[in-house]
Chains A and B, each alone.
Chain A
Amino acid sequence: MKFRSMLAALAVLVLGAAQAQEPIRIGSFLAVTGGAAFLGDPEQKTLELYVERLNAAGGVLGRKLQLIVYDSAGDAEKARTFAKRLIEQDKVDVIVGGSTTGETMAMVPLVEAAGVPFISLAGAVVIVEPVKKWVFKTPHSDRQACERIFVDMKARGATKVALISGAGGFDKSMRAQCLQVAKNHGIEIVADEAYGTGDTDMTAQLTKIKNTPGVQAVLNVGFGQSPAIVTKNHKQLGISQPLYQSHGVASKAFIKLAGDAAEGVRLPAAALLVAETLPDSDPQKKVVLGYKREYEARFKSEISTFGGHAWDGLMLAVEAIRKAGSTDKAKVRDALESIRGFVGIDGVFNMSATDHVGLDISGLRMLEIRKGDWTLVK
């Protein structure tokens, strides 16, 4: 019986490792491969780095941390199976993970039924609205990103906006949110174009936008290589209206990919990207600078805000466990909900019974790309 022996072998492996001592088990599933690998990869590295550091510093509540990560490849179905594995098999105390919204939403019913505190690293607002008892998340919601962008557009006198978005979950959710909140900010969406995942050329869509009368700004919602292609096409076509990107491209890789075409592009992002240039009075400066230096020294690669989401997730979990004084799941959940003034990478977290993100729009800084680097828009 191939099936049985395989599972048995697996059980021996997992149980064998667990019996050495009784560590605090942190479960995670991330899109380490697949189309969202650029999210899952830094997230995994961050979790591994900081679990190691916390253990080196004596662990939490005198117990070591044990990290269990599975690669969901961004597939919701796989994520759900791994979530079950984390809950049933690995018996984790808390789950920090879910690179994408699809993965997160597919496992929400499981954690709600099992009663395990879960901190998601995905963006869409549906994760926390309506509030779910056991579900929290660290990145700003896509709606907040839309609002931040619209505020900036309005300040520059642009009210007629052309939207272009990808076909992924992140893209479509944020597009819907932007369409919804546009009116509140006096913004009119005059064009709404789309492109497919893996598309190699968006000049057709952008030509349509170019020929739409009255456009004052262009907003691209998406992540991966597509926004960089949009940026290049935007320049190639000589579109004069300013281009905005979402927080989905908030890594140096985007500037490297888009090259000169990225000059003048604006996007909302966490303070992490401009860590060095933050004023010393900024409460986040110490935290973000510390994370940036440690990550870059260890992995010799540029920081991205995605890894920052994982830092926040892990540290919020640790903070909650410390506050609760145990790994009792209900106590940890209550502690999570009562976290106030916690300075993280994405901003200062003020959780409450009605807000399971706890971030306000001020944590999102408006950045402009100048001379191949991020600069803070004053």
Chain B
Amino acid sequence: MSAQFLQFLLAGLTVGAIYALVALGFSIIYNASQVINFAQGEFVMIGGMCTVWLANAGWPLPAAIAAAVLVAAAVGLALEKLAVEPARGASVVTLIIITIGASILLRGLATIVWDKNIHPLKAFSGEAPIQLGGATLLPQSLWVLGVTVVIVLLLSWFFGRTLLGKALLATSHNRLAAQLVGINVRHVLLASFGLSAALGAVAGILVAPITFTAWDVGVMLGLKGFAAAILGGMGSGPGAVLGGLVLGIVEAMGAGYVSSAYKDAIAFVIILAVLFFLPSGLLGRRSSDRV
């Protein structure tokens, strides 16, 4: 019984860590621009597909990964520069629709540049399952969990210690004030898109050996990442991580103990229940309206 519980927990943590990375991407862009970037899932796709493509072309895996993250970041920067910045001053809903358009465009491009097939990626360090108290774990899951922890630590260092990080935070708290103290808000916006695109790509690469990758993997992961970010509290870094992990574990436990057909519905019922009692998510800022 407890081995079974442990198995569900491990499954939930692995999936949850991926949701967390995607959710962090949502939060970073949201903080800098108040935009919910619905193309976030496409960064996940670009990361995975590009790595597979380069690896198949004979690149060594580390080089392929690095290049894929850079490609995704470049796409993120281009998205900000070409689509979000020219629409500055538009309403938030308009910006959301622009990012939805971008996600359709990017998926379409992926089917042309690459293809419509599903692709595997070799696991980073073998596929021999690790036994753990009666449950099993793939080495790739350890990669997912480990890299997620490292990224969370790096991000907290970045936002707490570096100038650009502090500028990002300041912009999220009060854009006008940030501008007044000499922060170049445009650069901050650009940096936020590049950073979260890179994060999304990392998530896509980490998960590809477990779940494969294809031109449309970003749709589902984007949706779950958004749900995780909201559950944790949009704009909160720790919230995004917590939201991702909770969502992953709830899904696994729901599938294991209640009903596998209804596990997604169970997850959303729990999110709705949380929002009912905590209207700004688990760790979200309690904001009051300025009149």
Contact = CB atoms under 8 A, between A and B. Distances in A.
Contacts of A38: 116-118
Contact of A204 (B7, B18, B210): B7
Interface string A219-246: 0000011001100100111100000000
A355 interface: no
Contacts of A33: 111, 116
Interface string B262-286: 0110000000000000000000000
Given A35-B216, A225-B211, A260-B127, A237 B136 contact: yes
A352 to B, nearest CB: 37
Given A193-B260, A200-B15, A257 B7 contact: no
Interface stretch (A59-67, A147-155, A205-213, A283-291): A205-213
A237 B220 CA distance: 25
Given A204-B252, A238-B136, A253-B118, A229 B129 contact: no
Contact of B138 (A41, A193, A205, A236): A236
Interface in A324-345: none
A89 to B, nearest CB: 25
A204 B212 contact: no
A33 B8 CA distance: 34
Nearest to A196: B264
B4 interface: yes
B255 interface: yes
A195 B252 CA distance: 11
Interface string A85-103: 0000000000000000000
A207 B7 contact: yes
Nearest to B18: A200
A198 interface: yes
A236 B136 contact: yes
A38 B207 CA distance: 21
A198 B220 contact: yes
A200 B207 contact: yes
A259 interface: yes
A167 interface: yes
A204 B11 contact: yes
Given A194-B260, A200-B18, A225 B118 contact: yes
Contact of B212 (A203, A225, A236): A225
Given A33-B111, A37-B116, A167-B261, A205 B255 contact: yes
A228 B212 contact: yes
Contacts of B127: 232, 236, 259-261
B14 interface: yes
B256 interface: yes
Contacts of B129: 235-238
Interface string B163-207: 000000000000000000000000000000000000000000001
Interface string A33-61: 11101100100000000000000000000
A201 interface: yes
Contacts of A293: none
B242 interface: no
Contacts of B252: 201, 203-204
Contacts of B116: 32-33, 37-38, 41
B211 A204 contact: no
Contacts of B117: 38, 41, 253, 301
A201 B220 CA distance: 13
B260 A257 contact: no
A194 to B, nearest CB: 4
A224 B253 CA distance: 24
Name, among A195, A201, A238, A261, the residue most crowded by chain B CB atoms within 10 Å (CB to CB): A201
A67 to B, nearest CB: 19
* Size band of the interface chain B makes with A: 35 or more
Nearest to B131: A238
A322 interface: no
A256 interface: yes
A33 B220 CA distance: 16
B131 to A, nearest CB: 9
Contact of B255 (A197, A204, A238, A301): A204
A367 to B, nearest CB: 20
Nearest to A237: B136
Contacts of B119: 257
A38 B136 CA distance: 32
Contacts of B214: 225
Given A195-B260, A203-B11, A225-B211, A257 B120 contact: yes
Contacts of B7: 203-204, 207, 237
A259 B14 CA distance: 21
Nearest to B1: A211
B212 A229 contact: yes
B20 interface: no
Contacts of B75: none
Given A207-B4, A208-B256, A194 B261 contact: yes
B219 interface: yes
Nearest 8 interchain pairs by C-beta: A198-B220, A200-B211, A194-B261, A204-B256, A204-B255, A37-B116, A203-B11, A207-B7
24 contacts: A34-B216, A35-B216, A37-B111, A37-B216, A193-B260, A194-B259, A195-B260, A198-B220, A200-B15, A200-B18, A200-B207, A201-B11, A201-B14, A201-B211, A201-B252, A203-B7, A203-B8, A204-B255, A207-B4, A228-B212, A236-B127, A236-B136, A237-B7, A257-B120
Interface of A: 32-35, 37-38, 41, 167, 193-198, 200-201, 203-205, 207-208, 211, 224-225, 228-229, 232, 235-238, 253, 256-257, 259-261, 301
Interface of B: 4, 7-8, 10-12, 14-15, 18, 111, 116-120, 127, 129, 136, 138, 207, 210-212, 214, 216-217, 219-221, 252-253, 255-256, 259-261, 263-264
Given A197-B220, A238-B136, 20 more contacts: A37-B216, A38-B117, A38-B118, A41-B116, A196-B263, A198-B217, A200-B207, A200-B221, A201-B15, A204-B7, A204-B253, A204-B260, A207-B8, A207-B256, A208-B256, A211-B4, A225-B212, A237-B7, A256-B120, A301-B117
